[in-house]
Amino acid sequence: MLIELVKVAKSPGGLWLADVRTSFGHTAVRWCGDGAAKPGEYHVEWTIDEDIAWRQNVKPAVGVGPGLRTGGHCVVLRGQLSPTEDGAALLDLDGTNILLDLADPLPEDVADTWVELLVDREKVSLYPYVL
């Protein structure tokens, strides 16, 4: 996914946090690239380092369409959720799939449901790459 990196700064916990913008929102998340990265456009892969539990940290979304925003020290990602055959799930975030590990199996009727995923910002990571 193409994002706009606004700035990178060190968090009080010592991790690099990236202030990022997309066409569907703005937030700060863990940056797994160069801490000296300059502002600009970057292609990134998103990872979520937390097990997902239905109705705990993921719930049906109000509205449709991709979304990204800050909620305190958390990040709220809105996308379409689809279970995989091997017991995981994918979150489609504006055409980019993010693989999710599940704490418990998802209900059968949630396939392709618009959801909001709430995760601590330090457990959402961006890995920049060059095309």
39-59 pLDDT, tens digit per residue, is 999 999 999 999 999 999 999
The torsion angle over the Cα atoms of residues 110, 113, 114 and 117, rounded to 10 degrees, is: 30
pLDDT of residue 106: 92
Residue 108, classed as helix, strand or coil, is helix
pLDDT of residue 108: 86
Q: What is the CA radius of gyration of the chain?
A: 14
98-131 pLDDT, tens digit per residue, is 999 999 999 989 999 999 999 999 999 999 999 8
- Residue bearing the bigger pLDDT, 71 or 5: 5
Instruction: Say yes or no to pLDDT of 3 above 90.
Output: yes
The residue extents of the domains of the chain are: 2-129
Residue 29 and residue 126 in contact, taking contact as beta carbons nearer than 8 Å: yes
Which run of H or E residues covers position 12? none
